[in-house]
Each structure stands twice: as C-alpha cells, then as structure tokens.
Amino acid sequence: MSIFESLGVPLLTVAVTLGGGWLVTTRTTRVTDHWDQIRKNRDTDQTAAGEFQRLYGEFVAVWKTWNALTSGHTPVSSPERPGWGCLERATAAEGAIEALLAKLAAERVLTGAEVDVLGGVRQAFKAVRRAIQRGEPLDWRSSEIQPYVAFKSLASAVSVLLGTATRTRRRPSAAMAARTFREITHNRHEVTWIETAQGISLRARQS
C-alpha cells in the first residue's frame, strides 16, 4: 500500500467530518437567525400595538375632557381658551397615528382591505380635533351612534392587524411603501371610513 493510499481514508474522514460540521453550523446559524428575526418582528409588533392602544386611550381622554369643558359653542382660537390643551393633545395624537401608519407601510406588505382599515382609523382620529375647532362637543353620546361604532370597529381591526404575524418575510420596497402610505392617507377615506367599518362588522357576522 502506497503512502497516498494509507493516508487517503483518514484524510477523507477528516474532510467529511469538517464538511458535515460546516453544514450543521451553517444550518444552525440560519435557523437561529430566522427565529431571531421572528422574535424581533414580534417585539416590534407588540410595541406598535401598545402605542396604538395608548393613542386610542388618549383619544377617548381628550374627547371626554373636551365635552366636559364645552359650554355653548365657543371656538378655540387662543391658548387662553379652556380647550387649547385639548386641541394640542388631539393634534399630537393625530401626528403619532400618522407616524405609526408610515412605519406600518414601510414594514408590511398590506392588502387593499388593510389599507382601507388603516386609512379609516386615521380619519376617525380626526373627529375630536374637528369638534374642538368647531367649538362643539363630539356628539357620540350613545354607544350605538354610527361614527362611534365605526371608530371602535376600526380600532379593533387595527389592534388585530398589529397583533398578527406578517404573512410573508418580504419587506416592501421603498417605492411600494411610499405608494401604500399614499393610499392610507388618501382623501377618499374621509367619505368611506364608516362604510369600511361597516364592512368589518358584516364580515364578523358572516364568519
């Protein structure tokens, strides 16, 4: 037996062992990276869901505060007026919602129905600011008032969306994200947001 023949089997064994170790290590790293990404996505979604729920609570707080302060129909036009703080809080909440929606557009591939829900909830958040600017209470005195029912339906749908894992690991391109955000903030939602919410309720009854 030549020296090459005598060394061949040990060298082959070493090569196979090293190759197998490399494959196992590579696969383990990929699996670890995959689960790390899932965990990061889940943490991001939970943070976004918590922020949305905080803003929903802020909307209700401003609404109730403004209605309690309102006497007559005195428009808010200066910081000396009692509703100025409510107006500042309402506009801050709207700004935070807008930022959250931009984040979602950049991080998720959204369906047309999801875009409509997000565009609808954005419009619903404008209700209290518009009431303050008119100097009138937000007239959602009953839990069955249509805009209030719509707001609750949209808020619930957004909470479910934020709490649901994305269907795909693919992130939208910059162009897709910009297009989606334009659709979310489109003025058409001003007249369709209640209809969008009614569609949610209809699908819930049918399921």
Which residue did the predictor score with more confidence, 144 or 30?
144
pLDDT of residue 169: 64
pLDDT(163) > 50: yes
- pLDDT average, residue stretch 78-101: 85
**How many residues are recorded in the chain?**
207
* pLDDT tier, 69 (very low <50, low <70, confident <90, very high otherwise): confident
pLDDT of residue 30: 61
pLDDT of residue 7: 47
Residue with tokens 């565009």: 119
* pLDDT tier, 4 (very low <50, low <70, confident <90, very high otherwise): very low
Give tens-digit pLDDT for 110-131.
Answer: 999 999 999 999 999 999 999 9
pTM of this structure: 0.74
Rounded to the nearest 10 degrees, how much is the dihedral formed by the CA atoms of 122, 128, 130, 133? Answer: -140
Window from 1-5, 80-84, 142-146 with minimum mean pLDDT: 1-5
Which residues have C-beta within 8 Å of that of residue 152, sequence separation ≥ 6? Answer: none
pLDDT(35) > 60: no
- pLDDT average, residue stretch 63-80: 68
Which residue did the predictor score with more confidence, 23 or 115?
115
* pLDDT tier, 96 (very low <50, low <70, confident <90, very high otherwise): very high
CA distance 52 to 177: 20
CA distance 71 to 136: 8
Q: What is the mean pLDDT of the chain?
A: 81
Residues 172-201 as b or e (16 or more Cβ within 10 Å = b): beeeebeebbebbbeeebeeebbebbebbe
Helices 146-163 and 112-124 pack at an angle, to 10 degrees, of 130
